[in-house]
Structure 1
């Protein structure tokens, strides 16, 4: 792996995703796959980068009192164990490629959607069906986070917009909390699964990527979308993620 170009790419990925309230797990995965990194290390690196980036978002959203804790807590309570236990699941390289390929393709397509500003939330969340539906979604996305290293916010946010569940800024705040706790639980699951995996010795070889996403995330979090349109960010990164998703699925089905 040639580190220098990827340090730059990870910096800009963190900057762009932090500006719109996400961690960047889908793009970190895509870049790591393109670099030829060990598939067993990819989720660990991606989840670590997620944690570093969304930590800054989390602090800012907490200071602004935008986190909808009443909605958030029940969902992360079901997603955390799902992320942890999914992180412990041992899968082959071909299974990883299949799951990650579909995950990247779907998340990329969701990123292409234009999300309308939610001014007046619907009453859907207060209904029994709404509560159960979002708990199930949280559980499933938590599992996905632990398995392949995608925080899940990139999937959940568009669904919340479609439901008109929360004001737009609160959806972004919820996504940061959701990504943070899923990434943390998934990372612990991955680390315990690979306790005998000698490749973990190479983890610190990626230290410059972690430094890059920390700096990029801090800048992006503070500038928000004042420098670049959120729609442009989502569509550019979405195009990359779709490309890598299709490429992975092609590799899987051609073997």
Structure 2
């Protein structure tokens, strides 16, 4: 039987998943933020990473399916980032990060994600920039490494960069981000389980997975038309920034 805390966390995860899925993200930064504000914050870093990645696989998979089904996926845009991200996410997931270093990295990512939600990047209608293949691979590799170290999929880093640099329309960026997130999450999870073993608590993961499955479906299908999108975005941003503050204070 689920405890009160698990029920509340599941409800919040559902909302977070729907918000992230609506823009092609998996939501790992949000899941880590939520868990950091609960008793699960005491769990070891690899436990948190493996659970965040597992939830990411569900939501990013749903988001990619919906955006690809709608015709927004451009393989030529996704492939170079995937080629760079996949091996480096494995390496990042395999590396054991010191607790203080992990808290610092995660806090930085949470702050970045929170600020992005407060000040969303607007699409520019200028002609798409032409980027070299090798440069995209290098960017994918760097984001993949950070994703593996922290326990995210990297969408919060990739998608604003793609929009700012005009390499795709918002929906094309969402499709590419969802694919990138799914691949990085799978790779990071494999790397972490190879190094530390499987740390997944199925009793915890099942209700959380059910919540993000529902949220991910609703968000990826109807996200852009959610009437309360701005309000949810502001609340989610507050959660990310509060969680980052909590992590930062715990370092000192």
TM-score scaled by structure 1?
Answer: 0.89
- For residues 155 and 90 of structure 1, the distance between their equivalents in structure 2, rounded to whole angstroms, comes to 22
How do 1:73-222 and structure 2 match up within 5 A?
73-125=79-131, 128=132, 131-195=133-197, 200=199, 202-222=201-221
Query: In structure 2, what is the equivalent of residue 60 of structure 1?
Result: 66
**Alignment partner of 2:32 out of 29, 36, 40:** 29
Distance verdict in 2 for CA 1:232–1:178, change over 3 Å: farther
8 A contact 1:54–1:176 mirrored in 2: yes
Q: Structure 1 residues 232, 119: closer, same or farther in 2, change over 3 A?
A: farther
Could you tell me how far apart the structure 2 residues matched to 1:157 and 1:171 are?
6
The residue matched to 2:201 in structure 1 has which SS? helix
Q: How many pairs were matched up?
A: 246
**Residue 118 of structure 1: how far off its partner (Å):** 3.5
Match status 1:71 vs 2:77: yes
Displacement, 1:137? 2.2
27-36 or 89-98: bigger deviation: 89-98
Please give the secondary structure, in 2, of the residue aligned with 1:122.
Answer: coil
Q: How far is the alpha carbon of 1:11 from its aligned partner?
A: 1.0
Deviation at 1:52, TM superposition (A): 0.3
Unaligned runs of 5+ in 2: none
For the 8 Å contact 2:47–2:200, the answer to whether it is kept is no
Structure 1 pair 231–134 and aligned structure 2 pair: CA distance change class (3 A) = farther
Are residues 88 and 203 of structure 1, via their aligned partners in 2, closer, same or farther at CA, if it must alter by over 3 Å? farther
Give the structure-2-normalised TM-score.
0.90
